[in-house]
Amino acid sequence: MSSHREAPAISKDPVADSTDLYAFRSPDNPDTVTIIANYLPLQLPAGGPNFYEFGDDVLYEIHIANNQEPLSNITYQFQFQTELTDPNTFLYNTGQITSLDSPNWNRRQFYSAVRIDQNGYHQLADHAPCPPSNVGPRSIPHYTPLADAAVVTTSDGEKIFAGQRAEGFYVDLGSIFDLGDLRPFSPDQLIPGPASAGVNATAGLNVASIAIQVPISMLTNNGSMPTSVTDPSAVLGIWTSANRQKVRVYNPQFQGTDSDVGPFVQISRLGNPLFNEVIVPIGKKDLWNTLPPFADREFLSYVQHPELGSLLPVLYPGVFPNLAKYTSARADLTAILLTGIPTGVVDGLMTYTGPWYADMLRLNVAIPPSSSPSILGVLGGDLAGYPNGRRVYDDVVSIELRAIAGATIPLVDKSYKPDAAAGAIYDVINPNTTSANQLGPIGETYLSSFPYLGIPWDGFSNPSTTPKPSLVNP
């Protein structure tokens, strides 16, 4: 998955697990950028009575680099606090929750938000409420007003939301990790029957989202609204992190009174989707999660010679190009994932942030939102999509699969000619043809306005038991 359970250590600490990062010019408010940082993956909606929430002992951060270096020039920090209305009941709620201050809501969560920039600390929110987990229609008959009421607007015009959302990332997880099985391709003798459409393994699951919408002029290094794609100030480097204090003291005599002390240290991070998942070997995944982006030179060789690129043509001969004859370091993947795409590689696109090798999600804010979006982003001719930032519906699995398989080599090496038999590099999931457990229509999985990820699935109406109509290509 994008970054769900991608490393051994963080898979045991889901509240601190950075799962997905999105960054895009807001389609309904194009003078702003929306950044969404997701945590706590694979939330089953019916997971009560202790429903999902952020970690009170985790420091969550969103980092923005705007000066052509992989260093955080602007950081948004979030810390959470959980409060009990009645500690003498086992119930999450003792009646219907109809407002954010409902006395029936027994376990509520609040957060503080701080922006750190060259001018110091700015308190953006203090004791701001999260909406409840979506328990079900009997407990929460009208969820949307609760979520809307939880959106905070700062005096500077920023919007902030922290709470549960519908999972927007889609992937055929059960097939990919079954020895690289890709359902749309002809099966081998171990898997009888015809090839089939992909199955969205995350359909009907939820995630914990921290979303901010910020005026572009507050993110660029000179306070401008860039209009030229080649303007270096137009490119932002973005990543997220989760941090815990160095020491935890357990008090077995008084359960629930454990304490954390010492400075915060990073235990999870995320820039490009699937970087730690697919590129970094398992022996270094935990290390990668603790390092800052400017240390990513250590992982350069895995980008230049990705293991998956050599496995795909072996698993599916004639479908994916045989890259055995292409021994050059993968300059295309290095540009996409570690430096940004320089001017002249793709007409009308530049995401270059300098010679540093650093895994960051790069966004050129001079490129407007697309009027005809393609879920394949730049590979689909849509320069407003991944790897120019990432929108909530971008098909990053198919995009990166195609890139690793060699589809982007000709951008930087004009002499490269892919195998003639490798013309059809299929999608792992095509949202228009997925089988059971599909994405659901737009407006259910995705919204047209902030925070863009849809209302979370409720525990009573579990969509994993009721297949939904396929997603229409946005």
pLDDT digits 0-9 by tens, 24-41: 999 999 999 999 999 998
Identify which has the larger pLDDT, 171 or 262: 262
Highest-pLDDT range among 121-135, 394-408, 420-434: 121-135
- Over pLDDT 90: what percentage of the chain? 64
CB atoms within 10 A of CB 251: 10
Q: Residue 354: pLDDT above 80?
A: yes
* CA distances for 24 relative to 187, 240, 367, angstroms: 37, 15, 10
Q: Would you say 28 and 183 are in contact if contact means Cβ atoms under 8 Å apart?
A: no
Classify residue 45 as exposed, middle or buried by CB count within 10 Å of its CB (0-12, 13-18, 19+): buried
What band does 186 get if pLDDT is binned at 50, 70 and 90? low
Average pLDDT over residues 231-242: 97
Average pLDDT over residues 66-94: 95
Q: Give the range among 180-184, 330-334, 379-383, 424-428 with minimum mean pLDDT.
A: 424-428
Q: Could you give the CA distance from residue 370 to residue 373 in angstroms, rounded to a whole number? A: 5
pLDDT on residue 255:
64
pLDDT on residue 436:
32
Q: Residue 404: pLDDT above 70?
A: yes
Q: Give the range among 151-160, 262-271, 316-325, 339-348 with minimum mean pLDDT.
A: 316-325
pTM for this prediction: 0.92
pLDDT on residue 310:
86
Q: Give the range among 189-193, 296-300, 327-331 with minimum mean pLDDT.
A: 189-193
pLDDT in tens, 254-297: 666 778 889 999 999 999 999 998 999 999 999 999 999 999 99
3-state secondary structure the chain: CCCCCCCCCHHHCHHHCEEEEEEEECCCCCCEEEEEEEEEEEECCCCCCCCCCCCCCCEEEEEEECCCCCCCCEEEEEEEEEEECCCCCCCCECCCCCCCCCCCECEEEEEEEEEEECCEEEEEEEEEECCCCCCCCCCCCCHHHHHHHCCEECCCCCEEEEEEEECCCCCCHHHHCCCCCCCCCCCCCCCCCCCCCCCCCCCCCEEEEEEEEEEHHHCCCCCCCCCCCCCHHHEEEEEEEEEEEEEEECCCCCCCCCEEEEEEEEEEEECCCCHHHHHCCHHHHHHHHHCCHHHHHHHHHHHHCCHHHHHHHHHCECCECCHHHCCCCCHHHHHHHHHCCCCCCECCECCCCCCCCCCCEEEECCCCCCCCCCCCHHHHCCCCCCCCCECCCCCHHHHHHHHHHHHCHHHHCCCCCCCHHHCCCCCCCCCCCCCCCCCCCCCCCECCCCCCECCCCCCCCCHHHCCCCCCCCC
Q: Residue 319: pLDDT above 90?
A: no
Identify which has the larger pLDDT, 428 or 88: 88
pLDDT on residue 7:
80
pLDDT on residue 182:
76
Domain ranges of the chain: 10-295+438-465
Identify which has the larger pLDDT, 70 or 196: 70
What band does 473 get if pLDDT is binned at 50, 70 and 90? very low
Q: Could you give the CA distance from residue 217 to residue 74 in angstroms, rounded to a whole number? A: 13
What is the average pLDDT score of the chain? 87
What band does 47 get if pLDDT is binned at 50, 70 and 90? confident
Q: Residue 326: pLDDT above 90?
A: no
pLDDT in tens, 438-455: 333 333 578 989 999 999
pLDDT on residue 421:
46
What band does 472 get if pLDDT is binned at 50, 70 and 90? very low
pLDDT on residue 44:
86
Q: How far apart are the first and last CA of the chain?
A: 22
